[in-house]
Structure 1
Amino acid sequence: MSSLEGEKSGAASVHDENPVMAHTEKSGAAHGHAATDQYGQPLVEFDKAAESKLRLKIDFMVIPTVALLYLFCFIDRANIGNARLAGLERDLKMTGVYDYNQLLSIFYISYILAELPSGVLCKWMGPGWFIPLLTVLFGISSLGTGFVTTLPQACGVRFLLGAFESGMMPGISFYLSRWYRRSELAFRLSLFMVMAPLAGAFGGLLASAILTLDHVGGVREWRMIFVVEGIITIGLGLVAFITMTDRPETARWLTAEEKELAIARVKSERVGQSEVVDKFGGKKAWLGFWNPVVLATAWIFLLNNITVQGLAFFLPTIVAGIYPEASTVTKQLYTVPPYIVGAFFTLLLPGLSWITDRRQIFLILSAPLVMTGYIMFLASENGKVRYAATFLLASSCTSVGPLANAQVAVQVISDSSRAISLATNMMFGNTGGLISTWSYIKWDGPNYPIGNGLNLASASAILVFSTLTLLWMNYDNKKRELRDVDQELEGLSPEEIENLEWKHPAWRWKP
């Protein structure tokens, strides 16, 4: 069951007789004690078979709920593109050149403004309460969109939708960081973030199915999309209040021994920390934001979101331009296949990250296919060529989400810093989403050279900045090898050592 955190510790005692953990000279996994020595080396060794069994159990008990919630989070965000094809602009009398772009932009304004406060609230309330609450609230907002009659009303509802959805991706990422090791995290993040491209596919199919109905209650046409999907989202959020477990310590489906292992193995990677779920502190929060690799990764995520969010909102419009004579339902169905390919790559690259315990190299490798796709858009007006290009766009740009969130999560040490680093990444990322809403303007269609050129520049910049970040991490790690850990930590209290965060002399960047 979910549980408010307050000041409860997420660390459990470790007993010497525990068969799943073999101890070195001194157990460091007990409550209130560091699980690493001052050089960052774990004080506990773990039984690999027991870890594997526990990890699989966590996978089955934790991932499905958050994945389903995120699926409808993204559907409720991106269904505006499907509604546009079904007559939203006509019924709301959106005759201005920029009306649709304004409707998209308002979502990101509230999303960006609410991001950091959402990170603080998630840490304070605990993700087991915070994530279901957000789901109910953005479900209500989506439902309300089905009853708007003017553009200002639609903008008001989308503003609320952005504020409530802002905490979902960083909140779920933060939640999973309490359960998984550094090497495991990117792939587990991909297991819920894959719902973004699948939402493009499933959302298109669901919208097509809904539009075959004559009416739902008193609403018709595009309004039915928001009403049906909003009701489903609210129901899922209410169920999640019951099914989500806030952290290993409160998991009823774990034995006492499994709880100890779950806590100790995560704690063993946190240099100088005595708790997995620490009390929120301002200094740690600041260092979660003011972190060179977090800020560099957030900038990369901003550039990536120009492409990802642009694809989500404008793929239906692009398809309509390529196949102008097709029916509305057929156009919806044409948006599905590129997202299926995107879903495959969203799992592939983070899966390789799990095997190699590397993330930065895969951020670098995500750019070339996206660059190729936009070059095809700019070089050809042939419908088949441009539709083929959408597969290249979806293939690797969607994998950056789990990779970037995993990267900012592992470049900090404490739970408090992680809540802020993830919120920072999403704040930057959705600034890219705001830019994307102005990437494709009506008068730039049907070929959209400005939008495609901007996205090509963004993908190229990702290649450059992610490479430079990797080089800097390796350079700074070499400098850190020359630091005298004993001398720098001499005279510091345990609390002062914990507050050092990534400035701890034994810390190394994790490329």
Structure 2
Amino acid sequence: MEEKTRPREDVETSRLDAINVAQDGLAATDKYGSALVEFDSHAEARRRTKIDFAVVPLAALMFLFCSIDRANIGNARLAGLEKDLGMRGNDYNAVNSILFVAYLLFEFPHNFLCKLIGPGWYLPGLTMGFGLASIGTAYVHNFSELAGVRFVLGMFEAGVMPGTAYYVLSRWYRRSELTFRLSLYIVMAPLAGAFGGLLASGILNVKGFGGFADGSWRMIFIIEGVLTVFVAILSFLFLTDRPETARWLSNEEKDLAIARVKSERVAVTSVLDRPDWRKLWKGLANPVTIVTGLCFLLETVTVQGLSFFAPTIVRSIYPRASVTSQQLYTVPPYVVGAVCLLVMSLFSWKTDRRCIYIVLCAPTVIIGHIMFLSTVDSTARYVALFLIASTVFTPGALTHAQVSANVVSDSARTMSIASNMFFANIGSLISTWSFLSWDGPDYRIGNGLNLATSGAMLILASGLLYWMKKDNERRARKDIDEELSGLDQHHIEDLDWKHPAFRWKP
């Protein structure tokens, strides 16, 4: 029933319940995991839409330019970066590896500091840092300088994706809503490939300035870096840290925003708990986190390989095309990938399922790589690129949503997301060596590797889906009162996903 047609006393009761469960120290569920407050669906939808427009756009912009600044080296490569810097052999692979070494080193510290300091300040600071590093790339003169600045770029970028995922997931949305909201900023990865190609082709036709020659690859880094710094300034001014500090929410709306998230977390008395090592460990040692992270590792080998080497792959398909045309050929597959990501994530939201969609993402990627390995026809290979791009980006949103949905506390969620990204960064590091210069133009090693990782992801995700179903059946047979007997509230909260009323959310 719509809020305006409900009796006054029902509206008032719902409001007071939201105020009560929003307070720290009070649980929003009973010991069996059932929510203690019922929310009006129409009122909740209106608040959710308001949150969407306030939270998602800035998060998406930050991730867009993070993706552009990470992948624009592929566009610069087509424009002569290797020749100008005297790079030889697999120097290009090595310099991209250095980026992900920094990712691996700084991933967990960034996520912990993001929780400690607050994403409202920390994420804009990281964005400012990698924007300045991108500008610095325009002024390198040899391989060593390029390697150094790429390490600095990775040092700042390492905290952006997990930090943004943590910010969007932990503080604003219900479990079923996670994948689609994540997709609204993760879609910036394929759009960065499309937009980056368009932007690079435009920049290369701009008249030189600031001592740079016309069409210099250096202008790609400086112009895109300046745009990133502008986004960082906007984020400092407008990014809201959490519902309690949101100036655009009324007190009643703040209570509702907190209460609706809290009502899905078994035995939790505070949405934003203090860092607790036992809860942090629950996020790392969670079996769903580990297997999902392995799926993300396998998927990222293909995603980052595509990000760094799509221009190179297109050049191998259309070697006689101009550099500008080669840049533009990279755009359509990314656009298809962005659309498919949003559509599949929307289905995930409406069905409140994630793992089955991870399974469904693998077959098209497998078929695409089989086509690359089985034919040299240019048209068939370009079609294969579309097939690969169509679903390869979607597991990024699905895996983050899955690890978040399968822990309880905010601290555990911080580490589960960081762990998921740690696995992904291992995949990214592997991807930098998947397309080797001497393996072109067919790149049988790179395509064979991606075929294997896609097949392995299909098997792992299918196995995880089956295991969650069976373990939920086992949990349903437990006596919750007996399991919780003798435990106080503090110890009950520390159980996290081991709480007997907890169920895996596939």
- In which range does the TM-score fall when normalised by the shorter chain? over 0.9
- Please report how far the alpha carbon of residue 29 of structure 1 lies from its aligned counterpart in structure 2 after TM superposition: 4.1
Q: Give the total of aligned pairs.
A: 495
Match of 2:96 among 104, 125, 138: 104
Change (3 A) 1:490 1:24: farther
Q: Which residue is 2:266 aligned to? A: 271
Q: Does 1:250 align with 2:266?
A: no
Amino acid at match of 2:128: V
- Please report how far the alpha carbon of residue 349 of structure 1 lies from its aligned counterpart in structure 2 after TM superposition: 1.1
Q: Which runs of 5+ in 2 are unaligned?
A: 1-8
Q: Does 1:466 align with 2:461?
A: yes
- Please report how far the alpha carbon of residue 24 of structure 1 lies from its aligned counterpart in structure 2 after TM superposition: 8.1
Q: Which residue is 1:404 aligned to? A: 399
Q: Which residue is 1:346 aligned to? A: 341
1:414-458 superposed Cα distances (whole Å, 9 cap, x missing partner): 111111110100010111011000000011000001100000001
Match of 1:121 among 93, 113, 118: 113
SS of 1:273's partner is coil
Contact 1:18 1:257 in 2 (8 A): no
Amino acid at match of 2:156: F
1:251-306 superposed Cα distances (whole Å, 9 cap, x missing partner): 00001111010000000001111001111111111111110000000000000000
CA distance in 2 between partners of 1:327 and 1:116 (Å): 43
CA distance in 2 between partners of 1:444 and 1:19 (Å): 69
1:287-302 to structure 2, matched below 5 A, reads 287-302=282-297
Contact 1:202 1:336 in 2 (8 A): yes
Change (3 A) 1:426 1:277: same
Contact 1:119 1:171 in 2 (8 A): yes
CA distance in 1 between partners of 2:394 and 2:108 (Å): 23
CA distance in 1 between partners of 2:188 and 2:423 (Å): 21
CA distance in 1 between partners of 2:236 and 2:319 (Å): 45
Amino acid at match of 2:97: S
Q: Which residue is 1:59 aligned to? A: 52
SS of 2:38's partner is strand
Match of 1:167 among 140, 146, 159: 159
CA distance in 2 between partners of 1:292 and 1:502 (Å): 10
1:21-40 to structure 2, matched below 5 A, reads 21=14, 28-40=21-33
Q: Which residue is 1:391 aligned to? A: 386
In the superposition, the TM-score normalised over structure 2's length comes to 0.96
CA distance in 2 between partners of 1:262 and 1:279 (Å): 19
1:302-336 superposed Cα distances (whole Å, 9 cap, x missing partner): 00000000011111001111111111111100000
Amino acid at match of 1:201: A
CA distance in 2 between partners of 1:294 and 1:22 (Å): 35
Q: Which residue is 1:231 aligned to? A: 226
- Please report how far the alpha carbon of residue 20 of structure 1 lies from its aligned counterpart in structure 2 after TM superposition: 8.0
Amino acid at match of 1:114: F
Contact 2:19 2:255 in 1 (8 A): no
SS of 2:172's partner is coil
In the superposition, the TM-score normalised over structure 1's length comes to 0.95
CA distance in 1 between partners of 2:253 and 2:20 (Å): 17
Change (3 A) 1:497 1:223: same
1:34-90 superposed Cα distances (whole Å, 9 cap, x missing partner): 100001100000011110000110111111111111110000000000000000000
Q: Which residue is 2:4 aligned to? A: none
SS of 2:466's partner is helix
Q: Which residue is 2:190 aligned to? A: 197
Q: Which residue is 2:373 aligned to? A: 378
Q: Which residue is 1:356 aligned to? A: 351
Change (3 A) 1:49 1:26: closer
Q: Which residue is 1:5 aligned to? A: none
1:358-414 superposed Cα distances (whole Å, 9 cap, x missing partner): 000000000000000000000001111101100001000100100000001111111
Amino acid at match of 2:488: S
- Please report how far the alpha carbon of residue 30 of structure 1 lies from its aligned counterpart in structure 2 after TM superposition: 3.2
Contact 1:26 1:43 in 2 (8 A): no
1:9-38 superposed Cα distances (whole Å, 9 cap, x missing partner): xxxxxxx98648278899544331010000
1:227-271 superposed Cα distances (whole Å, 9 cap, x missing partner): 000111011101101110011111000011110100000000011
1:18-97 to structure 2, matched below 5 A, reads 19=12, 21=14, 28-95=21-88, 97=89
- Please report how far the alpha carbon of residue 484 of structure 1 lies from its aligned counterpart in structure 2 after TM superposition: 1.5
Amino acid at match of 2:176: S
Contact 1:22 1:45 in 2 (8 A): no
CA distance in 2 between partners of 1:48 and 1:242 (Å): 32
- Please report how far the alpha carbon of residue 219 of structure 1 lies from its aligned counterpart in structure 2 after TM superposition: 2.4
1:298-337 to structure 2, matched below 5 A, reads 298-337=293-332
Match of 2:481 among 474, 486, 489: 486
Q: Which runs of 5+ in 1 are unaligned?
A: 1-15
Q: Which residue is 2:5 aligned to? A: none
Q: Does 1:137 align with 2:132?
A: no
CA distance in 1 between partners of 2:137 and 2:14 (Å): 53
CA distance in 1 between partners of 2:130 and 2:18 (Å): 51
The answer to which structure has the higher helix fraction is 2
Q: Which residue is 1:180 aligned to? A: 173
Contact 1:29 1:44 in 2 (8 A): no
- Please report how far the alpha carbon of residue 214 of structure 1 lies from its aligned counterpart in structure 2 after TM superposition: 2.6
- Please report how far the alpha carbon of residue 494 of structure 1 lies from its aligned counterpart in structure 2 after TM superposition: 1.2
**Over aligned residues, Cα RMSD in angstroms?**
1.5
Q: Which residue is 2:360 aligned to? A: 365
SS of 1:324's partner is coil
